[in-house]
Structure 1
């Protein structure tokens, strides 16, 4: 049969068929012509609409009834299922109401203020279902009483507090300094957050039970905005220690400044935004050791990556601060000008006119980097905390930063290990020793 029909032929055929029917009727002598619909009327079956009964409304409250030693930072949440919250009231044991926030769809409620330590709270919540029925639930719980409370401050590697709105160098390391040992480091670290604009990859590394460092995987881009938050209030930090209060700071990263002191050339090359802007002759640590009271004191400028930590004009340098009496043949106590500190144990770039004859050709200092008056003043005015200073090709052990004997830096978990050499465009973990002594090599 063809897919498309000839409609004219069909109409002719239909007319002939009608003629045959009429003729047949006449031939039978019928007095009336009956037209019978040969197609039966369709049967319609009505399906009744099934209307489900509304689910009963339910209310859940966390923490549940009679829970004890709840950390004030733990989640407090009221939830309505198959309905909306009509009323939520939370009070402490004194009857003071705790204000809260209801979600836009009215099915979740959370407190809008922190809970206290050693308090008892009662939460009463009423929800309304689709059938207008009401359900009420109540939970009474108590919060923990700390054995001890920990505070945290946000600092530089030297120990100075990071300052709101200040500018820091591209090698800046953020230090979270706790005032007591933290048993649950993971719980503490979850509360430590560094937010940057633009985004910068970084990680926390614990130096000891009281101190964690956050560093970027690469140097901060110049102009980066940095926000640091330590939200530890109410957090269980382990062994009965809870957070005392939160801490926060916002700062900005300044221009990229990287200085390389190379003992091969005895020059300090200063790069700003990856461009060489000045080369300064220097005289670094003369090397060798001396023993005083059973302690061996070295006179090297240790190789490694350092950061500017502070600067002062002048600074009193006293060899007795690191165990070498001022009366010893190598001892000293002298005031120096335009001093820029790059390590906690007292290595500086500073003015020393008395060694200009050796600067650029010979190392004669006790460990600092000596500069001429002109160069020292110029560098002093340029430097800001967090700027990078790399010392290359000097003798002695690498600077203290958890480095191995071969000079390789251990990486943060998940990061590749970093070697202890770099160029102005490659960043590594800065040297930041954590010794308590404040020595000031001259």
Structure 2
């Protein structure tokens, strides 16, 4: 009887021993890493903010500065969050990040840090168009900085163009203080465009950092384009595709290069009524000298070309006799003056003098691939 009991006990011990190996090991919570680290007092600005999750995924990241949310985005794995732009100098940032593990507890990391002040700052000095301006469909965006920029790629990455109708465009540098945005095709009419230079904290050169962001918006108005044929002496103005004006004109007499109207895609740049026009390269008393006040003058280049009024009816529609400008009947020139917006395309054909791409706003003279070569970045994306 004793032997039977011992055998039963041994069997029960064997069964219980096998069951004990199935116990689960608790999982570790995910780890959240933040750069710049919490409590930093002089964090760099030009690398932005990065939050990482180890052993889990990020479910929520909230970053604020000065009471405003800092924009950023997660990668596809949801393990890395990056700020969209660089960080402001001499600013305090607050971060709250939550990471989820696989069945274990969440990890919540909270803290703050400060960025270092900029030793030398730069910012936007001027823009074209002006804030709130209504412009034509060929209008470029021109940004001038108040200090020379050497790290052009870093600065160009901060430049954001948002159009209500998306369009492909690219920036082109024309010096250390000026960058120009041109679309591949003309802007769609009747829309608003917003431009933001997210400069705060970006490194523009050795010891040079962006001081502040800058935003402005403009409106693309009706789609007005003009074509001028110097051989037939005619100008046709179309608005949103429909012909709204036909004008007999007289163009440059072409006896010298300076008296030859340039062929190509011009843009209206500014206008005056009147505009004082003085003969280039000639002193008073020399042959060909003139000093005149011209009414209703719309400038289309930097080489003295205008569409303007002149009581020259005997030549208009028949012969080219001007010093390089395009003149029209006074009442029609006044109409064109009143109806023109900066950035309206004016295409001239029929002469052997080509408009240079850097003469005024002759940017449409460059093929798209050549325009893009002036960017500091490997490629140009669409406006959003």
* TM-score w.r.t. length of structure 1: 0.64
Could you tell which deviates more after superposition, 184-193 or 59-68? 59-68
Separation in structure 2 between the aligned mates of residue 201 and residue 125 of structure 1, nearest angstrom: 36
Preserved contact between residue 173 and residue 214 of structure 1 (Cα < 8 Å): yes
Closer/same/farther in 2, CA of residues 49 and 143 from structure 1, 3 Å limit: same
**Equivalent residue in structure 2 for 1:267, among 202, 221, 234:** 234
Shift of 1:151: 2.6
Match of 1:345 in 2: 303
Is the CA contact 1:149–1:242 (under 8 Å) kept in the aligned structure 2?
Answer: yes
Aligned match of 1:426: none
SS of 1:208 mapped into structure 2: coil
RMSD between aligned residues: 4.4
Is contact 2:199-2:212 (8 Å) kept? yes
Deviation at 1:371, TM superposition (A): 0.9
Q: Does residue 24 of structure 2 align to residue 51 of structure 1?
A: yes
Note closer, same or farther for the CA distance 1:342–1:128 as it changes in structure 2 (3 Å cut).
closer
- Whether the 8 Å CA contact 1:303–1:395 is kept in 2: the answer is yes
Report the equivalent of 1:197. 164
CA separation in 1, counterparts of 2:87 and 2:144?
25
| 346, 357, 362: which one aligns with 1:401 | 357
Structure having the higher Rg? 1
Q: Which has the higher contact order (CA 8 A, sep 6+)?
A: 2
Q: Counterpart of 1:384? A: 341
Q: Distance in 2 between matches of 1:84 and 1:270?
A: 57
Q: Please report how far the alpha carbon of residue 76 of structure 1 lies from its aligned counterpart in structure 2 after TM superposition.
A: 5.8
CA distance in 1, matches of 2:106, 2:230: 84
How far did 1:330 drift?
1.8
Corresponding residue SS for 1:362: coil
Partner of residue 131 from structure 2, selected from 159, 163, 177? 163
Q: How far does the alpha carbon of each residue in 1:23-62 deviate from its partner, in whole angstroms, 9 at most, with x for none?
A: xxxxxxxxxxxxxxxxxxxxxx979754331304534220
Deviations 1:218-249 (A, max 9, x none): 11122232111111111111222211222222
What corresponds to 2:266 in structure 1? 306
Structure 1 gaps, min length 5: 1-44, 92-96, 157-161, 290-296, 417-442
Counterpart for residue 42 of structure 1: none
> What is the number of residues matched between the two proteins?
344
Q: Which runs of 5+ in 2 are unaligned?
A: 1-17, 73-78, 374-384
Give, in whole Å, the separation in 1 of the partners of 2:196 and 2:317. Answer: 45
**Cα–Cα, structure 1 residues 368 and 64, in superposed 2: closer, same or farther, change >3 Å?**
same
